Amino acid sequence: MSETTEWVSLRQAADLLGVHPATVRNWADKGDLPSRRTPGGHRRFRRADVTHYAVAQGEISKVELQVIIQNALGQTRLQVGNGKLMSETWYAAMSEGTREQLRTAGRRVLEGLRQYLAHGAPDERLSDAIAIGKDYAALLASDGLTLPQAVRGFFYFSEFVINAIVTWSEITLPHSVSDWTTLVRQVNTFIHAMLLSIIEYYQED
């Protein structure tokens, strides 16, 4: 792993842990989260230490949810950045403007999911998933994509979230089967609400 990817800034560590930078600074001052100083006096945190700190929470916490979401976002960026998506017919059918908007929309999806899970997955917060699904469908429909193409694209990216959960479950301290089952069920509920919203938009259009 390169120096650039192994070490993260205070802000990046806070984003990974889903807390305010001042909280991370406090943890570092107390010695709970190891850090080092750059020649310019800025804090740097080893990515592995940040992950370990999240694992040490001992439960599927808000911290772990943030790491899972960041993992999914990283997978998405990798797929977009390496050019492999152009081999997908549904992606090739999009205009560059639509692709750019979807990059922003991806963050909205993951943040909506994070908020949904962090609040205990209440039904009333599924309105966010429904609204996001509708906007996604409207964007792709305006670009001439069919419903099957829109659904293929949706499945392609939603799989990153499930993969992130599976990966995290393999590297963390043991959790109960019930914890992971509940998390996957809640994620699927959010994803399914988005998917139904997409289908309904195309049927009404």
Q: Which residues contact 95 (CB under 8 A, 6 or more apart)?
A: 143
Same domain flag for 11 and 91: no
Q: Examine the domain organization and report whether 194 and 145 are in the same domain.
A: yes
Higher pLDDT, 70 or 35: 35
- Are 71 and 43 in the same domain? no
Q: Tokens 């993260």, residue? A: 8
One domain, residues 66 and 45: no
3-class SS of residue 43: strand
Are both 27 and 117 inside the same structural domain? Answer: no
Residues 72 and 34 occupy one common structural domain: no
Q: Which residue's entry shows tokens 């305010």?
A: 20
**How many distinct structural domains can be found in the chain?**
2
Query: For residue range 86-100, what is the model confidence (pLDDT) as tens digits?
Result: 788 888 899 989 988
**pLDDT single digits (tens) 81-133:** 556 777 888 888 999 899 888 877 877 887 888 788 777 889 988 999 999 99
pTM of whole model > 0.85? no
The CATH number linked to 18 is 1.10.1660.10
Per the CB < 8 A criterion, the answer to whether 132 and 109 are in contact is: yes
Q: What is the pLDDT of residues 141-154, one digit of tens each?
A: 999 999 999 999 99
DSSP structural state of residue 37: E
Please give the full DSSP string across 59-120, using - where no structure is assigned.
Answer: SS-HHHHHHHHHHHHHHHHHHHHTSGGGGSHHHHTS-HHHHHHHHHHHHHHHHHHHHHHHTT
Residue whose tokens read 């750059």: 38
Domain boundary among 17, 35, 55: 55
Mark which of 38, 55, 72 sits at the end of a domain. Answer: 55
Same domain, yes or no: 49 and 101: no
The answer on 105 and 13 residing in a single domain is: no
14 and 82 share one domain: no
Phi, psi of 174, rounded to the nearest 5 degrees: -55, 135
- Which residue range is the domain that position 148 belongs to? 62-204
How is residue 85 written in tokens? 């998506």
Q: Name the phi and psi angles at 201, rounded to 5.
A: -60, -45
Same domain, yes or no, for 112 and 25? no
Indicate the residue type of 187: V
What is the distance between the alpha carbons of residues 151 and 171, in angstroms, rounded to a whole number? 31
User: Could you tell me which residues are beta bridge partners of residue 43?
Assistant: 37
Find the mean pLDDT for residues 50-55.
70
Q: What is the CATH number of the domain that holds 148?
A: 1.10.490.70
The reply to whether 98 and 192 lie within a common domain is yes
Nearest Cα residue to 141 out of 205, 70, 63:
205
Residues 47 and 145 in one domain: no
Contact assessment for residue 16 and residue 70, using Cβ atoms and an 8 Å cutoff:
yes
pLDDT class of 61 with cuts at 50, 70, 90: low
